[in-house]
């Protein structure tokens, strides 16, 4: 899985890097609190995290994604923190693909989700 923290650059530019760092920590905590001991979560870029859900197929990963989204809504309903928005892409490595192939597919899916969210947000602002 690839998890992208949406809007980090805007937070850094408008509110400073300390605010951006706080948002990164909130995202990291959310991911860590929602994974098993056998899973691996790592920050792989400025605003991206990778999640290796060991012993999970793509269906189980999609279920994890749904649970994560639900917990994110609960977190965002709390007044204790800044609203957090993420985009997530899921893919499975198999005997016919490599982890690099799965990572590339997850990345494409994450960007497709991000673009779809932007499109729906832009469409709402036009109404």
pLDDT tens sequence across 16-37: 899 889 889 988 998 999 899 9
**Which tokens sit at 48?**
């991206």
Q: Are 5 and 27 in contact (CB under 8 A)?
A: yes
pLDDT at 114 over 80: yes
* Domains of the chain, first to last: 2-126 (3.30.70.270)
Least confident piece of the model among 13-17, 107-111, 120-124: 120-124
Q: What is the pLDDT of residue 7?
A: 85
User: What's the pTM value of the predicted model, to 2 decimals?
Assistant: 0.82
- Closest Cα partner for 21 from 51, 46, 50? 46
- Closest Cα partner for 90 from 120, 67, 122, 118? 67
Q: What is the pLDDT of residue 123?
A: 45
- Closest Cα partner for 40 from 90, 85, 1? 1
Q: What is the DSSP letter of 1?
A: -
SS3 75: helix
Q: Count CB-CB contacts under 10 A for residue 5.
A: 23
- Condensed to tens digits (0 to 9), the pLDDT of residues 48-99 reads 999 999 888 888 988 998 888 888 888 888 766 677 889 999 998 888 888 8
């Amino acid at each position: 899985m690839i998890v992208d923290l949406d809007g980090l650059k805007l937070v850094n530019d408008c509110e400073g890097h300390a605010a951006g760092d706080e948002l990164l920590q909130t995202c990291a905590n959310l991911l860590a609190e929602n994974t098993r001991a056998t899973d691996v979560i790592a920050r792989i870029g400025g605003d991206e995290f990778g999640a290796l859900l060991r012993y999970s197929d793509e269906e189980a990963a999609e279920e994890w994604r749904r649970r994560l989204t639900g917990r994110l809504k609960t977190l965002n309903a709390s007044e204790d923190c800044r609203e957090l928005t993420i985009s997530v892409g899921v893919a499975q490595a198999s005997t016919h693909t490599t982890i690099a192939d799965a990572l590339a597919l997850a990345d494409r899916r994450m960007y497709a989700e991000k673009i779809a969210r932007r499109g729906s947000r832009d469409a709402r602002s036009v109404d």
